[in-house]
Amino acid sequence: MASLALRASSVYAIKIVAFDVSDGAAGKGPGQILVLPDVSGDGSTDIGVLWGRKLQVVSGSSGKLVWQTVLPEDWSAMRLSLAADTEDPAIHVAGLSNSGKEMHVWTLAARDGGVQSKKQDRLDAPLQGPVLCKRGHAYAFARDSYWLCRMPLSGEQLASCEELKQIPQGLDSTLVETGGDKALVVRTLGTALPVALDADGSLGHAFFTPGAEAISNGLAVDGDEGYVAAGRAKDGSLWARLTWIESKKTVTLVTATGDLADSLEGKHRVQMLALSAKDMSSKKAVKESARVLSVASDGVFNLYEGNAVTWGREEALASVQAAVFLDLPAPSPELAAQWRAAAPTLSQRVRAEFLSLKDQFGAALPQEQKELSGLKARVSSRLLPFRDPNGFRKLIVLLTEPGRVFGLHSGDGHQLWSMSYPPTVRLKHAAVWRTSHDTARPPEVLLLGANQEGGTFYSIVDVHHGNETGSGTLPYNVTQMLEAGPPVHDGTAEQHVYALVGEGEAPSVHLLPATDQTLALLEAAASPLHFWRCNATAGVLEGFTVSSAGKASLLWSAAFPPENEAVQGAAAPAFNSPIYSYAKVLGDRSLKLKYLNPNTMFLATGSSPAQPGKAHITAHVFDTITGRLLFSQTHEGANGPVQAVLVENWVVYTYWSRAAHRFQATVVELYDDSPHDLTAAQLVFGSHNSTMSSYRPVNLEVLQQSFFLPFGVKTLATTATSYGITQKFLLMGTFSDQVYMMDKRYLDPRRPLGTPTKEDQAEMLVPYDVELPLAPQLFATHQQQVANLRGIDSSPANLESTCLALAHGLDLHLTRVQPSKTFDLLPEDFPFALLIAIVVSMIVGSIVLRYLSSQTSLKQKWA
């Protein structure tokens, strides 16, 4: 499971920043937190928070606001520092003017925010952020990047600039905050170096380490300050060297196994370093007990103690972009033998029984509980390395933002394989590429993204082994990847075909793969390819058709001015999702025909919370072939964010109601209102068939209803099953970072407002209630939280009753969802032994009774 190591310790700070933003903090910008002495008088350490231009001081024990002030509008790149030369606590605030030509320093009383002093200086060369405060000075680089300017935080002395001669002129350089007070850390040309600061704040010696990609925090020992510089060798191994600022000595902490890299281009670099030591009594003790934590640009965390990696983490899993569910390898003697070889021995099984008994009485130690869970996992069928008939064991391919791709086992999330792509490639899409008819052949996935040359990179991966089977570069940029139609049968496999949409007002559309068989999809005049795109920034929704030459032509467009109708959210039905029935059977056995147009889409527009005027949200349902507006409704007093999902003939969307100060959900259902004489019997036993066309619109019956939600919704999805028979659940990602399973029956616009009639009862309609129910047992994540929940992906199992749902954020959480219970599966704890015993007893009993009956009959005949 991926998680953020420092998340728990940052919760309080995050809450303060979130309160500041919701309270209308002026401007936007990076935040800074400054620990202050007790200025509120409540006996606890207090906290200064800078966000944008607003500076607040709050109590460290209660979070109560002590005071706040707003800094000038023309300031930027501000930095806080605690004054060390004043009797009463004071805060120095250093910043640059927006033009960069002026440096400002204010001194504020920490107790009440009163201004004690102000000074500013105008410089010849404009400066650039960030601003750092060290040794009683504020530092900033000039925009020509090799002049460093400083201004004392106290006193009357104004700014002065020095040339940093160790940096070649013309290189882009910036300051990096690493803590410590004896050196500035400068990053330039993919490398970083500490520059010593003299007691008066002037620049001293610069410690240049060739190939250094990152510098650690400063570590103070024996009046000196140490920094670690680290980089990668040609083979990807890490090297790290510790430099002491005062003594100017350098020692090696981690030795690379290969030669140093001549060029960093195309490689993932070390982005951050952290230095700590178990023993800080002396410099020698620091060297022997030093621990270096490296964070690479591909999300790999490693902790080094000497040359050994103590532990490593794949933090790229905290930024999942796409998830694809695929089958594990088919059962084989080799995989079965591999599993048996890893199974526990007899002695380990006996120990597992002993630890289990100990755990039941609450006497097991934490390490024994961990050992017990490991032993149970080794005998559990959930972790078998091959697929199961029910489709519960899956291989999940995850594409992450840093460019790493993972294959995870659905049993416990353990990593089967991983791949890393260079930072010059930014992968965005992952989809099934090819599924073989031969179960011995692995399925393949397609990974697609942009490269730094302005083209598109694609890679095809064998998901069973994590090997790249093909890759290439396309000479155009791709803005959309759409499934062009059902998979093509090429004799040995199901080949998926994708339409890649380029840029421009009349974009080109290319098929991947571009074969004679797939290009026939573009040449089919009877069913031309259509697609739509939404430009949220410009507020334009457009529909296109594609010619046989692959050129897109605009069919229609709709404009939504961002000033008052900004795009808040959109949704479209999943491609080729199964639909079990195209009609709903009512309580009186009549039928309502669903409007099952796969070319519908939902769009929400309206005012944003920051926009003045009357708040509103407008919901639209469009036919994307003709641009026809099928439905529109405006919710007054409502704001985004809007989350929506469109399935079959219904759409559910959520939004914030200003009037009620609560989140609301609205459901809209579309039905074909054309006259028909179709009966339920004909629907089940007949061969009724009809063709729907966007160019022959039908009369629609639109039903809608709104409900209050018991929680806020940040992401929305639905369950998916093999045939679409099972009742749908809405998977709602809440603001508390949990996933709630809301039965779609509660979001039915036909719920009766009064006493249900016999027809309503026959249809099992739930009486209307303005608020949707909340049942704790319907939280799919149970008591767990998926921190910073960003998305939910669902995939059907082989059994119709079961759906696999993956929630991803900083953590990953996979669960099985059974909306209609397990009607096609016996429970895991089903007493098979008891059933066999009963059946055997009945067989034996019938034999015995038959024998006794024959003996009784024989006696009666002789009597």
Produce one character per residue of 733-758: b if its CB has 16 or more CB atoms within 10 Å, e if not: bbeebbbbbbbbebbbbbbbeeebee
Phi, psi of 746 (to 5 degrees): -75, -20
Produce one character per residue of 550-578: b if its CB has 16 or more CB atoms within 10 Å, e if not: bebeeebebebebebbbbbbbbbbeeeee
Measure the CA–CA gap between 392 and 504, rounded to whole angstroms: 44
> Is 352 part of a structural domain of the chain?
yes
Q: Map tokens 């006493």 to a residue.
A: 755
DSSP 777: G
Q: What percent of the chain has pLDDT over 90?
A: 39
Measure the CA–CA gap between 342 and 338, rounded to whole angstroms: 7
> Is 397 part of a structural domain of the chain?
no
293 against 2, higher pLDDT: 293
Would you mind telling me the total number of residues written for the chain in this entry? 863
Residues 290 and 362 in one domain: no
Q: Which two tokens stand for residue 551?
A: 């050129």
What's the angle, vertex CA 565, arms to CA 564 and CA 566, rounded to 5? 105
Phi, psi of 275 (to 5 degrees): -115, 130
Measure the CA–CA gap between 140 and 184, rounded to whole angstroms: 11
564 against 664, higher pLDDT: 664
Residue 657: predicted pLDDT: 92
The amino acid that residue 140 corresponds to is: A
Phi, psi of 112 (to 5 degrees): -135, 0
Residues 270 and 344 in one domain: no
DSSP 202: -
Residues 312 and 337 in one domain: no
Residues 257 and 281 in one domain: yes
> Is 756 part of a structural domain of the chain?
no
The amino acid that residue 76 corresponds to is: S
**Contact predicate 229/209, CB 8 Å:** yes
**Contact predicate 568/606, CB 8 Å:** yes
Report the range out of 85-99, 369-383, 602-616, 843-857 with the highest average pLDDT: 843-857
pLDDT grade, residue 22 (50/70/90)?
very low
Q: State pLDDT tens for residues 161-173.
A: 888 776 655 566 7
Residue 203: predicted pLDDT: 84
Q: State pLDDT tens for residues 279-314.
A: 888 888 989 999 999 998 888 899 999 888 888 889
Measure the CA–CA gap between 76 and 99, rounded to whole angstroms: 9
Q: Which domain holds residue 838?
A: 834-863
> Is 274 part of a structural domain of the chain?
yes
Q: Look up the pTM and report it.
A: 0.82
Residues 368 and 287 in one domain: no
Verify cis geometry, omega within 30 degrees of 0, for the bond prior to 507.
no
Mean pLDDT, range 91-113, rounded to an integer: 90
Residue 685: predicted pLDDT: 60
Torsion angle of the four alpha carbons 839, 841, 846, 848, in this order, in degrees rounded to the nearest 10: 160
> Is 495 part of a structural domain of the chain?
no
Q: What share of the chain is helix, strand, coil (3-state, %, to 5)?
A: 15, 45, 45
Task: Quote the mean pLDDT of the chain.
Answer: 85
**Contact predicate 447/436, CB 8 Å:** no
Measure the CA–CA gap between 352 and 371, rounded to whole angstroms: 8
Measure the CA–CA gap between 183 and 185, rounded to whole angstroms: 6
- How many structural domains is the chain composed of? 3
> Is 664 part of a structural domain of the chain?
no
Residues 277 and 374 in one domain: no
Lowest mean pLDDT among 133-137, 345-349, 402-406, 598-602: 345-349
Residues 291 and 240 in one domain: yes
Residues 233 and 297 in one domain: yes
> Is 739 part of a structural domain of the chain?
no
Residue 12 pLDDT > 60: no
pLDDT grade, residue 14 (50/70/90)?
very low
Domain boundary among 317, 346, 368: 317
Domain boundary among 271, 293, 317: 317
834 against 145, higher pLDDT: 834
**Contact predicate 86/57, CB 8 Å:** no
Residues 218 and 313 in one domain: yes
**Contact predicate 54/80, CB 8 Å:** no
Q: Closest by alpha carbon to 402, among 312, 477, 296?
A: 296
Residues 358 and 275 in one domain: no
Domain boundary among 284, 317, 350: 317
pLDDT grade, residue 499 (50/70/90)?
very high
Annotate 428-453 with DSSP letters as a single string: EEEEEEEEESSTTSPPEEEEEEEETT
Q: State pLDDT tens for residues 696-738.
A: 888 899 999 999 999 999 999 999 999 999 999 999 999 999 9
Measure the CA–CA gap between 426 and 569, rounded to whole angstroms: 24
Residue 8: predicted pLDDT: 28
Measure the CA–CA gap between 501 and 104, rounded to whole angstroms: 50
pLDDT grade, residue 690 (50/70/90)?
low
Annotate 128-168 with DSSP letters as a single string: EEEEEEETTEEEEEETTSSEEEEEESSSS---EEEE-TTSP
Residue 178: predicted pLDDT: 81
> Is 372 part of a structural domain of the chain?
yes
Q: Map tokens 């140490």 to a residue.
A: 226
